[in-house]
Amino acid sequence: MIRVLVADDQAAARTGLRLLLDGEPDIEVVGEAADGHDVVALTERRRPDVVFTDLRMPRMDGLTAISQVCALSPAPAVIALTTFDTDEYLFGALQAGAVGFVLKDSEPALFVNAVRAAHQGQGLIDPQVTRRVVRRFAQTSPRPATAELAELTPREVDVLRSLARGLSNAEIAEDLFISAGTVKVHIARVLAKLGVATRVQAVIYAHRHGLVTWD
């Protein structure tokens, strides 16, 4: 069972998420938070596997809450819930450790898929804005190669490029003719060598350093 904490300052939004997620056989909502302070406190108390949080909340904003939640040990996977066109905290949330984000007007199935993906260690960015997110981080000229990048093996570089192209573990395995288990091992090593916490951060890194570009 995937234990989820939902956070939004609007009671109707929290109720909607609870009804949606609790309707799934493998998901249980174990708490609701109305502000960032409660997000951190309830995460420490309830120990959810996944935290689904809005980015604009009173007392403590979602960005600060994400940073504090991701600093816990063990830390849950965090999904940012946002209205992309107006919420500039989104990019800071990804850098703070959120594994992905979902727009508030997304299809219900995407919320459920995001929870399952986060629980499996795979970030999910709403496909409506994936290109815009990566472009935002990669809009400047590619940065020089780093010592961390030099530590990657040729196969790990292949896996990182595949991640940056938006491929799933299964698609990477098929593309590189390796097993899904081997893909997971390579991804874990890539994250460790680059010093990043999530797949999303690895994708941003790849674009920033010119390993892959949007054509």
* pLDDT tens-digit series, residues 10-64: 999 999 999 999 999 999 999 999 999 999 999 999 999 999 999 888 888 888 9
CA distance 184 to 159: 10
Cα radius of gyration rounded to whole Å, the chain: 17
Three-state secondary structure call for residue 196:
coil
- Using pLDDT thresholds of 50, 70 and 90, give the confidence band for residue 72: very high
| Whether residues 157 and 123 fall in one domain | no
Could you read off the pLDDT of 114-158 as tens digits, one per residue? 999 899 877 777 766 666 666 666 555 566 667 888 899 999 999
Is residue 164, in this structure, part of any structural domain at all?
yes
Is residue 134, in this structure, part of any structural domain at all?
no
Task: Give the pair of three-digit tokens for residue 14.
Answer: 């929290």
CA distance 134 to 181: 27
Is residue 94, in this structure, part of any structural domain at all?
yes
| Whether residues 64 and 123 fall in one domain | yes
CA distances, 49 to each of 28, 106, 139, 194, 196 (Å): 10, 22, 34, 25, 20
| pTM (predicted TM-score) | 0.74
Phi, psi of 211 (to 5 degrees): -75, -25
DSSP per-residue string spanning 41-64: HHHHHH--SEEEEES--SSS-HHH
Q: Residue 91 CA to chain centroid, in angstroms?
A: 11
Q: Determine the structural domain holding residue 192 and report its residue range.
A: 141-208
CA distance 200 to 169: 14
| Whether residues 67 and 172 fall in one domain | no
| Whether residues 116 and 145 fall in one domain | no
| Whether residues 124 and 159 fall in one domain | no
CA distances, 98 to each of 9, 23, 66, 174, 196 (Å): 19, 24, 7, 27, 12
Q: Which of 51, 52, 95, 43 is nearest to 73 (CA)?
A: 43
